[in-house]
Amino acid sequence: MMNVWKLTAANTMQKEAVEPVPEEGKRKIRITKVFVNRSDALLFSGAKKVRYPRIPGRFAVGLIADEGSTHFPKGARVLVHTAFPAPTDGVEKRDYTEDDILLRGYTADGFLRDFIYVTEDELSLLPESVSDEKALLIQHIALANAAVEKLGLHRGEHVAVIGGSMLGIFICPLLIYRQISPILIDNDAKRIEFAKSCGIYYTAPEDETLLEKVGVITGGRLTDNAVCIMTGNMETHCKTAVSVTKPGRSVAFCGQIDHPLPIDLNAILKKRLTLSGVSVGTEHIPAAINLVANGAIDLSVYRKNVRGADGAEALFKEFLSMASIPVDEINILSLV
């Protein structure tokens, strides 16, 4: 038997004991730790729409629990991928309004359970130098790396990063690693302070003084490109990204959202901007593991808050009671 924690309705979570059912061609993984954040709490509350019942938990590490290939031996420690291709039998007519990529803990059942069956394509081996806690952040780093790669940047450029969430914080050192100067833009003083403690030198508030302050940093110019993080006040972030970017350059919108957003096409067309969407970073996971293993991104700045999986509901309620979760805190549910 295994324990499964399910969202069965808004603000309703149940723990069930079920028998794990083997799936042909898939490996059995013992989930050991799950990283949860405000998005999980919004699913719990019903503020973020989801089809019930749904198992939450989007980021997890675990152990191979069965015998199989030599590449993924029993007992190996693995990162389990959040995103995976939507299953199709190639026979039924495809509904092109449906997602082609599913996300664990959101559009598909997540990791808050003792065991899960997945294909080996959905696993990445973890080196000994990468702890479980660091591994839980690798998919954020992979998504950040995907956004940076999307822009086709050149050394010496300035890039606006709008949004000081964990994703925005990770993008900045990846830019610095490429000898590009990030300008982190956010209106939360605590996020700006944390960004500076992470070695991000250039910051600016997202207000009416923004363009003036960007000009001071760049020598009177707009930024060469921008990355817009899809969290917080997303409509304002989108406007900021367009306004702060030079004509003829690029803006990458990074993250996932669950509702339409208005965007000013007039400004985009006038500036001849190229827009791109970055919502999945799976192909960048190997690079992200190497970055973490080599210490290219300092994860020691994050405080770890670990509790048992039975504390998930209480933790989600805590998240919902806060105006924002501290940007330097990692909340982990342990299943072992």
Each residue's pLDDT tens digit, 242-269: 999 999 999 999 998 878 888 889 999 9
In the structure encoding, which two tokens stand for residue 292, read together? 């973490």
Angle of CA points 64, 65, 68, to nearest 5° = 70
Q: What is the pLDDT of residues 44-83, one digit of tens each?
A: 999 988 899 999 999 999 999 999 888 999 999 999 999 9
Answer yes or no: is pLDDT of 40 > 80.
yes
Is pLDDT at 193 greater than 60 in this prediction? yes
Among 284, 320, 294, smallest CA distance to 82 is for: 284
Between residues 325 and 122, which one has the greater pLDDT? Answer: 122
Decide: 31 and 80 in contact? Cβ < 8 Å.
Answer: yes
Q: Quick one: DSSP state of residue 243?
A: H
Q: What does the pLDDT read at residue 95?
A: 59
Bridge partners (DSSP) of residue 64 are 29
Nearest to 315 by CA among 33, 44, 132, 109: 44
8 Å CB contact between 15 and 310: yes
The Cα-based distances of 158 to 200, 213, 226, 236, 282 in angstroms read 13, 13, 9, 21, 26
Instruction: State pLDDT tens for residues 102-145.
Output: 999 999 999 999 999 999 999 999 999 999 999 999 999 999 99
Paired residues of 39 in beta bridges: none
User: Residues 10-39: what's their mean pLDDT?
Assistant: 95
Tokens encoding 257: 């959202």
- Say how far apart CA 328 and CA 143 lie, in whole Å: 19
Nearest CA-CA partner of 49 in 59, 58, 39: 39
pLDDT at 231: 87
Q: Tell me what pLDDT residue 122 has.
A: 98
91 has pLDDT over 60: no
| Domains of the chain and any CATH numbers | 2-137+302-334 (3.90.180.10), 140-278 (3.40.50.720)
pLDDT score, position 218 = 96
Is the pLDDT at 89 greater than 70? The verdict is no
Higher pLDDT pick, 214 / 100: 214
Identify the pLDDT of residue 260. Answer: 83
Report the C-alpha gap between 33 and 51 in whole angstroms.
24
The position carrying tokens 């409509």 is: 235
> Can you tell me which residue has the tokens 């982190």?
184
